[in-house]
Structure formats: C-alpha cells, structure tokens
Amino acid sequence: MRRMPRVPFRAALALCAAAFAPLATGCGSESDAEAAAMDEATADGAVPASSQDPPNTLTDIEAADGWALLFDGVSMEAWRTYGQEGLHDGWQAEDGMIVRVAGGGDIITRETWADFELQLEWRVEEGGNSGVFFRASEESGRIFEGAPEMQVLDDAVHVDGQNPLTSAGANYGLHPAPRGVVRPAGEWNHARIRVEGERVQHWLNGEQIVDYRLGSPEWQALVAASKFAEWPEYGTYASGHIGLQDHGDRVYFRNLKIRRLDG
C-alpha cells in the first residue's frame, strides 16, 4: 500500500486558520512541541505515538509503512533471555508493559535485524538504570561486549547521569547525550534508534541527540580509548538481536515497534 503524502502539522494549522479566521478558536490544540514532533515525523517517516492511540498497537499509517510490534501488551513470546532458549520470569508482562521485576538477566528478541528503525517508550524509578542494545550476537560472552547500547537512566539521581557519555540517550561510553532532554524518573520517555548500514542515530523525546558511524576512524578511536577496547567484536556485527538490559533495577517498556530498512 502506497503511503499518501502528509501535510506537516504547522502547514495544516495555517490552512485551517486561514479558512476559518472568524472561528479561529478550536482550530488547533497541539502545543508547539507537539507540532514540532509532527513536522519532524513527517519529514523522515517516523510516526511517534499519540496520547490518543491505544498502547502497544499499530496505527493504519504505521502498518502501511511496515512497522511491527515487538510486544502486544500481553505476550512475551517475541523475547527470550540472552544465551537461553526461554525467558526468565524476572521479566514479566504487567499492565501492558514489559517490566523487569527481579533478577533475570538481559533479554533479547527472537528475531534479528540488520538495518532497522526502532521506537519504544521507557520509564525508570528513582535511580534506575537499564539500556537498549542492538545488533546483539550471542557469540559475545556478554551482550554488552558486542552490542552498542542506548542508555536508559534516571540522570538526576544515578551517578552515571553526571557524565554525558553515560547519561540517558547516550551511545553508552562513546557518544554523549545533551542535557535537558530526558524526563524525570517515573515519567515516560520516547526513544528512537535508526540503524542503516554503518550509520546510527538516536532520538529522545523527539530530539535527535546522537549520530555516528560504526567502524569509522572516529568510532575506532573512541572504542580504543574506552573499556570496549578489550572486546574486539564490539560493534562489529552486521545484524543481531534487539536487547533490553537487566542492570538490577525495575524498569518499564511499552510501545516497542520496529520496521526493517533492508527489505
């Protein structure tokens, strides 16, 4: 199904105002931030979740654009524990969320992806720490020895929040996240990761915060100067699993959606 062109929100709002100038009240109710998010989404094909959309569902637009759910709000069948065939009960489906309720190890998708776009929402409790891995391979001893990670964190309380390289949204340990983007503990954050070839981009709450190329001279220099230098396989896998990190804290995920970019 071919996607029809969409009019950016601000353009639609201007048309509405011009057509109904005498009845301007009620013509548009989105905030400036919501309008910016809509414009950004229209520009590159991403469809951020609306507060009006039921959690863990796909809109008609998303389905037409090839998005698929990694969690339907009830079943954990798409997931298993890293290095194991089944899923540890430390991870549970609760009230439409994937929740790390007790020690259960890192979990990964049963499917693998090379080039993809991933969207999800995450929430931590005070001091909470977790992460989202991609292109994870079980050839690594531990998931973080091979898979890059988008940090999930309560920046305000956790010690890692003092360093931009390990703050929420960062490419953990290598590329920093800017201040003032992550929301406080207890609130939902919308994250997006796009991986196409060597290029990796992170968005947090509608703002692009990280952009780098795997294997580039810059990447190699940063890895060589980091703790990842001892694992030569780090960031080298061309495809792999999506992973959620068990870092010892309770963490919540919902609206996990993915689409392939490699056919």
Q: What is the DSSP letter of 4?
A: P
Domains located in the chain, CATH noted = 1-44 (no CATH), 49-260 (2.60.120.560)
List per-residue pLDDT tens for the chain, 263 residues long. 333 344 343 444 343 333 333 333 333 333 344 434 434 443 454 545 555 689 999 999 999 999 999 999 999 999 999 999 999 999 999 999 999 999 999 999 999 999 999 999 999 999 999 999 999 999 989 999 999 999 999 999 999 999 999 999 999 999 999 999 999 999 999 999 999 999 999 999 999 999 999 999 999 999 999 999 999 999 999 999 999 999 999 999 999 999 999 86
The predicted pLDDT at position 35 comes to 38
The DSSP code sequence of 98-151 is EEE-S----EEESS-BSSEEEEEEEEE-TT-EEEEEEEE-TTSSSGGGTS-EEE
* Structural element, H or E, at residue 190: strand 189-196
Nearest to 191 by CA among 238, 244, 126: 244
Residue with structure tokens 């809109």? 59
Give the pair of three-digit tokens for residue 159: 């010690």
Predicted TM-score (pTM) of the model is 0.82
